[in-house]
Structure formats: C-alpha cells, structure tokens
Amino acid sequence: MKYILDVFRRYLSPYKSKVFLTFFYNILGALFGAFSFASFSPILGVLFGTQKMVTDPGPFVWTSIESIKMHLNYFVSELVKASNPADALLLIGVFMLVMVLLKVGFTYLATYAMIPLRNNVVRDIRVSLYNKITNLPIGFFTEERKGDIIARMTGDVSEVEASVMNSLEMFFKNPVIIIISLSVMITMSWQLTLFVFVMLPIVGYFIGRVGKSLKKPSMRGQNKMGEILSRIEETLTGLRIVQAFNAEKAVQERFYEESNDYRNIMNGLMWRRALAHPMSEFLGTGVIIIVLWYGGRLVLSGEESALSPEEFITYLVFFYSIINPAKAFSSALYSIQKGMASMERIDAILSAESKIVDGTNVFPQEGFKDKVEYKNVSFKYNPNGPYILKNVNVSIKKGQTVAFVGQSGSGKSTLVDLLPRFWDVLEGSITVDGIDVRDLTTTSLRDLMGNVNQEAILFNDSFYNNITFGVENATMDQVIAAAKVANAHEFIAATEDGYNSTIGDRGSKLSGGQRQRLSIARAVLKNPPIMILDEATSALDTESEVLVQEALDNLMKNRTSIVVAHRLSTIRNADLICVFDKGEIVEMGTHQSLYDAHNVYRKLVDMQMHNK
C-alpha cells in the first residue's frame, strides 16, 4: 500500500484532471451497472407472478431503495397491462440493454482516460531515470554496471508499468464497483452480506500470503537480468578480443550459466505467480457455494424478513459482480509485489546522491583571464584506499601549454579530471582566476574547457551532429572550418553524404585517426579558452599521429592547454612539463632542462627512444 501511494504521490500529481475523470467515469459505469442488475428482481417478480402488480408507487425518493423498487415494479406492471407479457419482456430487455450500454460506455471512457495516464507515468519514470543518470558524477558509474543500469531503465520500468496499471485500476475502478454493489447487497439482506464480509478477508489472507512471497525472487530476477545485460554489453564491446583469444567458448559457457540461473529464478517466480488464478478461482467458487448454501437457507426459511427467490437471484448477480474485481485485487497484489522490487531498484538510482553539486553561494565564471592553480591537492577514490594524488602544487598561466607525464597509474589523468569537477579534491583546492572551482557553477566551469581524450567518444549520428555536439546554433560554415583545423574535412567530404553521413556506433565506420580528428573538430568548434588533452595520440599509428598532432597543434594555438602525454615526443615544446611518480610531482621544468637533469624524466625519454 505504501508503495502504491508513494508512486501516486510522485507521478500522478501532474495529471489530477485525468485521475478525476477516470474516477468519475468509473462511478457512473458502476451506478448504471448496479441499476441494470437491481431491475432484475421486480422484473422477474411481476412477469412470473410472484409479486403483485403496483398501481400506485407513491412519490419517488432517490435515497430510498424501497421507493426505487416500487417505481420499477410500477413501470413493469404498466408494460404488462399495456401489452402481453412476452412483448413486455422484450421492451424490458431493450431497457436493460440501454442501461448496459451506458455502463460499458462509461467504463470505456474511464479506460480511455487511464491509458494516457499510464503511459505518462511510465514516460516520466524513464525520463527521470535518464536525467538522473546524465547528472550523476563519473564516479557513480565506476561502481555500477552499464548493463544493470540499462536493465533498470527497460525491464524494471516495464514491471512498474504493469504494476502501476493494475494499481490504477484497482484503486479507481474496482473499489467503486465493490462499494456500490455491497451497498445494494446490504439493503437487500444485511445478514447474508455480513456473512460475505466474514468470508472475503479469509480468502484474501491466503491470496496475500502467496503475493508477498514474490518480492524477493522478483528482486533476484531483476538483478540477474542486469548481470546478463552487462555481460552482453561487455561482450559486444570486447568482441574483437574475444575472437582474437579464441575465447568464444569460455564466454558462451559463462553466459549460459548466468542465463540458466535467471531461468531457475524465473521458474520459481512464475510458478508462484501462476498460482494466483487457480487459487482465486478455487477460493472464489468455494465462497459462492457457501453463499448459495447460506442464502438458500434464508430463502427456504419462509420468514417475512427473508429474501424472495427473485431477490436472491438478484443478490447473487450483485455478488457475482464483485467476484471479478476481487480477483483483480489478488492479481494486482502479485503484480504490485514485483513492481515494488523493480521500483526499489529504480529508486536506488533516483535517490543516489551526487557529491558534485553546486553550493548555495556559487556564481558563474565569465571567461578565463589569469591562471589555473592546483594548491596542495590530495585525492583518493576510496576513503579507506591509498592516496592517488599527494600534495600536488602547479600553476598554469593563461596561454601556457603544460604537460603531465609519468608512468601509468601515477595520477596524471586523475589530476586533470579534478579540474572540471568530475571528482572533487579531498584536500587542498583548485582555483580558476583565484576562485575555488567549488564556488563556481559547474556549467560555467565546464564551459571554459574542451576535452580530447585517448578514446574518442563519438555517437551513432552524422558527422555534423557529432561536431556540433553541445554547441547550439552552429552554421555549416563554422563546422567545415572546425573540421579543416582538425584535418578532418577531407575524409568527411569524401563520404557519400558528406557531413550528413552517419559514423556508426562509437564511430565504428572510421579509423582511429579519423575518430580522433573528429573529436578534435568538436573541441575546435566549441572554442574554449582551456583545452584538456588526455593522451590524445597514444593509441594511433605513426601516420595518423602526424595528422592528429598537426590538428592538435592547430587546436592549442593561442589557448591554455593541459596535456597528459604518453608519447613524450609530442610535448617537447611545452612551456612546463610536470613529472609524476606515485601521485606526486617529482620534477618540473622544460623538456631540455629536465632532460639535462638526468632524473626521472630523462629515464622516461631514454626508455621510449630505446623501445623504438
């Protein structure tokens, strides 16, 4: 119940008008349905002679069941008088058909109003998830599997969709039918209705016990599906390595094991869920038999307050009308248990707290005027883990090219990631023009920077859209100019559709050098004052490196550049080179001064020259 109310509160508030319409139409549908059922008793009584014809029904009172019955009797009596009983039966049948038409018409309108309500809720949940994911810090995704996140956005959202739909119907339709039907049943025979009230909770208890047992296996099933999707994503990403190492059989066996585990979990889950219908059918039939037995005794007792045969038949019609809504309650309970498990997995993302947030007193940074400065910066990813950076100090003046070099794992890329606040410093501070980056809005801070990484991050879209990514209102002339600076225009123009050609998933239709030059063109178009280059040429062959390095040189002209370098030959002309070792800067200077010092930098250069 808490889960349902929470979903309603969070996602139905914007659609109050549709909620009201659904509820209103359901009330009208239930009232017309009850009216058509209630007309059974007087119709049968008058037609078959078990009830006297009414010649004077008296004044009509809406709130009086007895008054309504008298006027129905009078209506039927007049029809019988005006024609023979067979014709009267036909006319009454037409009247009931009209009542049923009104009932099903309003019921359809209720469903019509509910369909966009359902789809709006599902859309809002999915959009909320996507928006949250795009705003979470990079660190969140080092602990979460991509496949599991995809599973939450697809399978879990679908489970919540089914759960929400059942919940909506259960709340806005079934209670209305049950309340109206029970109200009529109470007026017909309070003794028999009291007996029904005693029986239904007992049935509901047994159904509820099975429903509650679905939550845990449902959670395990969704978690396992996340693992399976993660496995698929990893395999597709690393298929070249899988085949190169003849590891197809190994990954197939591992995937089979995980799929088999999922099968076992879902078998148990579906066996329990499949129990819902036969259990509710059996228990419902048992209740009907008991009601028939108890009600039949009341009819046969001949007491004045007892039901007449035609009233008992009408009572059974009303009782039967609440059986299906009651069964729907049991089905909804099963679905809701699964939905609860899925919603918990969704909420694990929606409720994730981002540590990279703008404070209350932040302000935008307009332009870059002086320098970027790292002051006594220390950092570690895990509070209980080792320091990745220790007491780092470096000043980068406007217009300078500063390079960070060192062995893999020495902290170079981590230091660069701290500047745009992909992570926040643990100790010390980073300032832009003397202002701590944590005092600036994240958007304005990142607007100052462009990124070219070792792996070109591209999208399955056109050349044009990849170059203009994150830049609004760019003209084609500006895009072409940026591509020319990046040495990318020639190969783009050679494609069939030019700048409108799609580049494939992650740029799969392009070579490594072409992908890198395309990412450089994107950075050129953004035209930021600070450029971050994280080992942008380390994965390229010699020919591609020449073209990319030329593009990078064009990119770095007249701008502040921070370069993480793997190939030391590419940063000989840097204004300042910082040499990292185990998270600390152990040397600083120009290429020549560091080379002449015969320390760590000299060893790195000589090692690379020897390897060539």
Per-residue pLDDT, averaged over 232-255, amounts to 75
Q: Bridge-partner residues for 530, per DSSP? A: 449, 560
Instruction: Check pLDDT > 90 for residue 294.
Output: no
pLDDT of 452 = 82
- Look up residue 514 and give its DSSP letter: H
Of 166 and 270, more confident: 270
Distance CA(266)–CA(272), nearest Å, equals 10
- Phi, psi for residue 579 in degrees, rounded to 5: -100, 120
Instruction: Check pLDDT > 80 for residue 198.
Output: no
Q: Which residue intervals of 275-308 are DSSP H helices?
A: 276-300
Cα angle: 42, vertex 43, 49; to 5 degrees: 85
pLDDT of 339 = 74
pLDDT of 21 = 87
Residue of 489, 506, 501 whose CA lies nearest to 462:
501
- Look up residue 54 and give its DSSP letter: P
Per-residue pLDDT, averaged over 215-241, amounts to 73
Of 273 and 109, more confident: 109
Residue 373, helix vs strand vs coil: strand
Instruction: Check pLDDT > 90 for residue 431.
Output: yes
Q: Please report, for residues 233, 307, 383, 478, the alpha-carbon distance to residue 530 in angstroms, rounded to integers and kept in the order given.
A: 34, 89, 30, 20
Of 10 and 48, more confident: 10
Distance CA(502)–CA(485), nearest Å, equals 21
Instruction: Check pLDDT > 60 for residue 374.
Output: yes
Per-residue pLDDT, averaged over 131-138, amounts to 82
Which CATH code for domain 2-350? 1.20.1560.10
pLDDT of 517 = 83
Cα angle: 122, vertex 349, 261; to 5 degrees: 85
Q: Please compute, for residue 84, the number of CA atoms within 13 A of its CA located in the half-sphere on the CB side.
A: 2
**Is the Cβ–Cβ distance between 80 and 46 less than 8 Å?**
yes
Torsion, Cα 224 229 232 234, to 10 degrees, reads -100
Distance CA(350)–CA(343), nearest Å, equals 10
pLDDT of 607 = 80
Of 85-99, 424-438, 538-552, where does the model show the most confidence?
A: 424-438
pLDDT digits (tens, 9 = 90+) for 333-359: 666 766 777 788 888 888 888 778 887
User: CATH 3.40.50.300: which residues of the chain?
Assistant: 356-446+570-612
Instruction: Check pLDDT > 70 for residue 68.
Output: no
Residue of 69, 58, 30 whose CA lies nearest to 314:
69
pLDDT of 263 = 86
pLDDT of 393 = 94
Instruction: Check pLDDT > 80 for residue 139.
Output: no
pLDDT of 396 = 92
pLDDT of 322 = 75
Per-residue pLDDT, averaged over 187-191, amounts to 75
Distance CA(58)–CA(60), nearest Å, equals 6
User: CATH 1.20.1560.10: which residues of the chain?
Assistant: 2-350
Per-residue pLDDT, averaged over 191-199, amounts to 75
Instruction: Check pLDDT > 70 for residue 149.
Output: yes
Per-residue pLDDT, averaged over 302-314, amounts to 66
Q: Note the CATH architecture for domain 356-446+570-612.
A: 3-Layer(aba) Sandwich (3.40)
pLDDT of 578 = 92
- Mean pLDDT (the chain) is 79
pLDDT band for 606, please (50, 70, 90 cuts): confident
Instruction: Check pLDDT > 90 for residue 378.
Output: yes
pLDDT of 205 = 64
Distance CA(392)–CA(405), nearest Å, equals 14
DSSP E strands, 281-381: 371-379
Distance CA(168)–CA(175), nearest Å, equals 11
pLDDT of 330 = 61
For tokens 């991509």, name the residue: 146
pLDDT digits (tens, 9 = 90+) for 32-46: 877 776 666 666 665
pLDDT of 360 = 79
Helices 309-350 and 190-212, interaxial angle, to 10°? 30
pLDDT of 372 = 93
